[in-house]
Amino acid sequence: MSSHPAVLFLVSADTGCVQVDPEDPHVFVTDLGVTRGDGIFETISVCNGRPQALEPHLARFARSARLLDLPEPDLALYRRAVLAAIEAHDDVPELFVKTVMTRGIEGTGVATGWAYATEAGDFAAARTAGIRVVTLDRGLRHDVAQTSPWLLQGAKTLSYAVNRAALREASRRDADDVIFTSSDGFVLEGPTANVILRLGDRLVTPRTDQGILAGTTQASVFEFAESIGLQTEYAVLPVAALAEADALWLVSSVRQAAPVNSLDGISRQVDGELTRRMTEFLLGRTE
């Protein structure tokens, strides 16, 4: 994989979607996306040419914009950019498209936007053998999105340095990923994934009013679960629920469903059969 995306479209109200050379720089040093991480993004997985959960991704993009008091993104334009980027990309089994909108160059008040497509990495091992996860404190109470909305919990922003630092901490602890917990002891989410627990014949995920992202892949997993007769539930989960769960997954675009095979250094059983069917469902999504 190149360090530049394969396909890049700039998105702006003035000029619409314009394909540009991804080997060139396109962002100005005074763009607030760079200087302040002041912008939003979505990552949409594309399987055999079909974008997955595109409309939920676009709806969440608009929701993040509202949480940041950004101008409303022109979703028709971003939808067009996503589809054009897929069309322009080589035909590969799995790729992803990332959409970005920033507050724009300082002082202009005009948002900057783009969408790029890149071939996805190989997540076969994570999807079958699973991943090692550690829990880390996110430092915030579970109700902080209600009490302190300026902390932007629940928005998918470009200010992800803490999420990256948490992944480095996981690596120092010989783990692959993180489940954040609230300062008052509840299960939240991963840095770029939602947590799903199986408790008997129920799949449970943390309620999204706890300052976490409403997961597009998590919603698809729940749809799958209901189709095979499992119950689904959004709940406020104390951290102890993780250890008690029959199985755990981190689910996200691109990597899809990754079963947790160890939590805080303690090995866990992977639900291989359910994971296999889940993955098959996720990769087969046609919308």
List interacting residues with a copy of itself (CB under 8 A): 1, 3-5, 8, 22, 24-39, 41, 68-69, 98, 100, 102-103, 105-108, 114, 116, 136-141, 144, 147-152, 155, 157-166, 168-169, 183
Whose Cβ is closer to a copy of itself: residue 25's or residue 229's? 25
Whose Cβ is closer to a copy of itself: residue 159's or residue 208's? 159
Q: How far is the CB of 271 from a copy of itself (least distance, A)?
A: 29
CB 30 within 8 A of CB 106: yes
How far, in Å, CA of 114 to CA of 33, rounded?
Answer: 12
| DSSP assignments along 55-72, one per residue | HHHHHHHHHHHHHTTPPP
Whose Cβ is closer to a copy of itself: residue 32's or residue 53's? 32
> Starting from the edge strand earliest in sequence, which strands make up the sheet with 50-51, in order?
16-20, 7-12, 112-119, 94-102, 39-47, 50-51
Q: How far is the CB of 179 from a copy of itself (least distance, A)?
A: 13
Q: How far is the CB of 227 from a copy of itself (least distance, A)?
A: 35
Whose Cβ is closer to a copy of itself: residue 37's or residue 284's? 37
Residue 169: CB partners within 8 Å, gap ≥ 6? Answer: 134, 136, 178
Q: How far is the CB of 211 from a copy of itself (least distance, A)?
A: 9
- Alpha-carbon distances of 126 from 131, 175, 228, 252, 261, rounded to whole Å: 6, 12, 23, 12, 10
Q: How far is the CB of 247 from a copy of itself (least distance, A)?
A: 26
